[in-house]
A and B are shown apart, each in its own frame.
Chain A
Amino acid sequence: MALRSLAGRAAVVFRLRCATSSLVFSSHSPFSTAVVLDDLKYAKTHEWVRVEGDCGVVGITHHAQEELGDVVFVDLPEVGRQVAKGESFGVVESVKAASDIYSPISGEVVAVNSELADSPALVNKGPFDEGWIMKVKLKDNEEVCSLLGAEKYRELLEESTH
């Protein structure tokens, strides 16, 4: 528990080159090696949200990018588009497969990560930082509260690897 608490505070302070820090921040469960950051909220469909003021930054989790494989294309939403919690907002293509990605929050898309157009592999390299996908102006802060915290998300991952 103490080690996890220390890792959680470290995650908030350092904000991530998570791939290189995976030994510090990953779940210590023997069943999952996915990196889970304590300061984020998670959807059961494996997207994450980081709240920044009245906006939420959205991406896919370390677990998702690991399972998808090498990402070769990200279909980004248009800036100005309205997204709704639980609805598909884009597609991530990895080898042979196009997988829908689902918005964990509702609101207006105010920014997208245009770096992904030329460098989709950023999603694999830094799923929690440089691989972010969109920024959404939050319509309802309560939606964030209803998402999974890090602990619950780790439990979800452990259940799926059993």
Chain B
Amino acid sequence: MKLLRLQGFPILQQLYLEERLLRATTHNWCLINQGTNPPAIIVGISGKPEKLLDVKAVLQDNIPVIRRFSGGGTVIVDTDTVFVTLICRRDAVTLPDLYPRPIMEWTEHLYLPAFQTVPSFHLLEHDYVLGDRKFGGNAQSIIKDRFLHHTSFLWDYQDFRMAYLKLPQRTPTYRLARSHSDFICRLKDYMPSREAFTDYIVKAFEQQFRLQEISLDEVEKTQPSSVPHITSTQVFTTADLQQSIMPLIVKG
């Protein structure tokens, strides 16, 4: 498995890169990105900004909104987010078939050694939690004989940024009626440092994979972006976002 470590890499570029590595290469990959700047909101493949966001506030504060190619919900990411992505061939995992639930359970076992020092890490419904508090968002993209599983870990977060996100229509059962701040937690309250956290992750992954570090330059040389592949990642323009709330304003 090739390990690419990034620091503050823009999340839009990261998503383009991930989609390319999933669809246009045959290797196994692990990407770890320490934070992203500027902050951005990422919705899942079917995400509708008008349903998920306070679009007026997002427009006012000029926060980029990106639709990613994987499923799942909405996250707001910034320099306090730690991104970890796994891209695997079917033969790299001991799963009879590539479906969401078995993949999620496989990742739980993969991550478990990284959280040995933290009490009660486990997979609850579709989320990684400490106790009953979520600390990261997961999403997957599954194609023939390959899959991608990416996680945005909340090393820390700013409450005022969470305010851009509406309460989603579909929430996990274990959330109950909790507000965002009661439902999630900060990983920095449980780990000695970000560097220690990523070291724990790498050591955990080394229990199942032989990791081979690679630089971004080598990736660009050996897996060029010119190889044609399906690209679903897209940025919502200001006009897109304004249009998304037009029916609400007209009704208003």
Contact = CB atoms under 8 A, between A and B. Distances in A.
Interface of A: 45, 67-69, 72-73, 75, 88, 91, 93-100, 102, 160-162
Contact of A69 (B44, B45, B100, B232): B100
A108 B140 CA distance: 30
Given A73-B71, A97-B70, 12 more contacts: A45-B144, A88-B143, A95-B71, A95-B100, A95-B126, A96-B100, A96-B138, A96-B140, A97-B140, A97-B142, A98-B44, A99-B141
Contact of B44 (A93, A102, A162): A93
Interface in B81-109: 96-97, 99-101, 103-104
Contacts of B96: 160-162
A94 B45 CA distance: 11
Contacts of A75: 45-46
Given A98-B45, A98-B71, A69 B101 contact: yes
A147 to B, nearest CB: 16
Interface of B: 44-46, 69-73, 96-97, 99-101, 103-104, 126, 138-144, 170, 230, 232
Contacts of A94: 71, 100
Contacts of A91: 45, 232
A68 B143 contact: no
Contacts, number: 74
Contacts of B143: 88, 99-100
Contacts of A45: 144
Contact of A96 (B71, B97, B232): B71
A22 B139 CA distance: 32
Nearest to A161: B96
Given A96-B126, A97-B142, A98-B142, A160 B97 contact: yes
8 contacts: A91-B232, A95-B71, A95-B100, A96-B70, A96-B100, A96-B140, A97-B70, A98-B142
A162 B71 CA distance: 29
Contacts of B232: 91
Contacts of A88: 143-144, 230
Contacts of B142: 97-100
A97 B139 contact: yes
Nearest to A162: B96
Contact of A97 (B72, B97, B230): B72
B119 to A, nearest CB: 25
A69 B96 CA distance: 17
A100 B45 contact: no
Contacts of B141: 97-99
Nearest to B170: A72
B71 A97 contact: yes
B121 to A, nearest CB: 18
A10 B60 CA distance: 61
A72 B169 CA distance: 12
Interface pairs A-B: 8 shortest CB-CB: A73-B46, A97-B100, A97-B140, A67-B99, A98-B71, A96-B72, A99-B142, A93-B71
A10 B103 CA distance: 37
Nearest to A99: B142
Given A98-B70, A98-B141, A93 B46 contact: yes
Contacts of B69: 98
A160 B97 CA distance: 7
